[in-house]
Amino acid sequence: MQQDIVNIIEEVKAGNKTAFKYLVDEHQKYAFRVAFRVLCNEDDAKDVVQESFIKIWKNINNFNLKLKFTTWMYKIVINSAIDKLRSFRRINTVNIDMLSENLCHLERHGPDVQLENRELENIISHIAEGLPEKQKLVFILRDIQGLDSVEVEHLLEMPATSVKSNLYTARQSVRKRLSKLMACERRVV
């Protein structure tokens, strides 16, 4: 498998577009998931995937074949997503009723339940929106993307103490938001 990807990348390095198409087809879903979790928006995530693959095409000659391609691609996608997130201040409008329903749906059925992108967008946006940029990025990368603290420090070029304190504050904010949401829901019921 590793040899196959090496051969494909060699072809891409030689300018073979068919090989590049294969690379895109194989990895775009993963790239989309990474970008989506940072941006909480389907269209923005698609834009980031497109930008990232253009960067990959342009810089494929710099890729060291001894490394894992997905790791290299992940860094490109996550950095593009972070840049995009920093470039705009989008305020997502969240429908609270729908959000409560989505959250209940999520909690009752656990990890196996299939959520629509819009529902995921709704939940992540609600719990992460309004957080200061650093807190939001640390929270998304650490808790939603599932990276470890060292990877977050490296990606955001932040010291360990800063990652830890931003994560703590972000988690407290998320806890309060969810608590308020649940309190509203209980009052309604």
Partner 1 sequence: MKCDDIRGKIYTWVYSDVHKLDDEQIQHITDCPNCKAYYQDCHRANRITTLLSQKKPTLENPQKLSSDILDSIDELEPKEIRVRFRLFNVSKRILAAASVCLIIVFGYEQYIITDKMIKLEEQMSAVKATTVNSSQLKEILRYYPSHGIESLKSTLASSLKDSQDKSFKSAVLLAGYSVLSHDDVKKLLHEYLAQAKSPSEDSSVVNKKEKE
Applying the rule CB under 8 A, the residues between 2 and 61 that interact with partner 1 are 17, 20-21, 24-25, 28-29, 32-33, 36-37, 42, 45-46, 49-50, 53-54, 57-58
137: contact with partner 1 by CB under 8 A: no
The smaller minimum CB distance to partner 1, of residues 3 and 148, is found at 148
The smaller minimum CB distance to partner 1, of residues 157 and 162, is found at 162
The smaller minimum CB distance to partner 1, of residues 112 and 157, is found at 112
Three-state SS for the chain is CHHHHHHHHHHHHCCCHHHHHHHHHHHHHHHHHHHHHHHCCHHHHHHHHHHHHHHHHHHHHHCCCCCCHHHHHHHHHHHHHHHHHHHCCCCCCCCHHHHHHHHHHHHHHHHHCCCCHHHHHHHHHHHHCCCCHHHHHHHHHHHHCCCCHHHHHHHHCCCHHHHHHHHHHHHHHHHHHHHHHHHHHHHHC
Applying the rule CB under 8 A, the residues between 63 and 102 that interact with partner 1 are none
Query: Which residues in this chain contact partner 1 in the complex, by CB under 8 A?
Result: 17, 20-21, 24-25, 28-29, 32-33, 36-37, 42, 45-46, 49-50, 53-54, 57-58, 103, 106-107, 110-111, 115, 117, 120, 123-124, 127, 143-146, 168, 171, 174-176, 178-179, 182
